[in-house]
Amino acid sequence: MHPGWPWLKRAPLVLALFSFSVLAENVVDVQIVGYKFQPAEIRIKVGDSVRWTNHEKRTSHSVLFPAEAGLESERMFPDESWLRRFDRPGRYAYHCGPHPEMEGVVLVTE
């Protein structure tokens, strides 16, 4: 080891901590099929992410959170996805922007 690189001794520890934090995150999938979010309700932990994937054949969808100043994903066309990480506990109700009858909720716990 080079004498000017004392931090190198700690590199395995740093890498181990980084690897653990990456592995601790979970990604939960929500499918968009038949003009529905499936499952419509999911429960995740703080720091987890949700990935919505459009499995429709000819239409676009979005994910709109009205209680969060209208936070909305970009339009997802067939076979496209959108990912969001949730960093705070709470109840996050959402619906499809162009199809408001499509509803879902993400319940985030600590």
For 39-87, how does the pLDDT look when each residue is reduced to its tens digit (9 = 90+)? Answer: 999 999 999 999 999 999 999 999 999 999 999 999 999 999 999 999 9
Domains in the chain with CATH codes: 26-109 (2.60.40.420)
DSSP assignments along 62-95, one per residue: --EEGGGTTEEPPPB-TT-EEEEE--S-EEEEEE
> pTM for this structure?
0.78
Residue 13 pLDDT grade (very low, low, confident, very high; cuts 50, 70, 90): very low
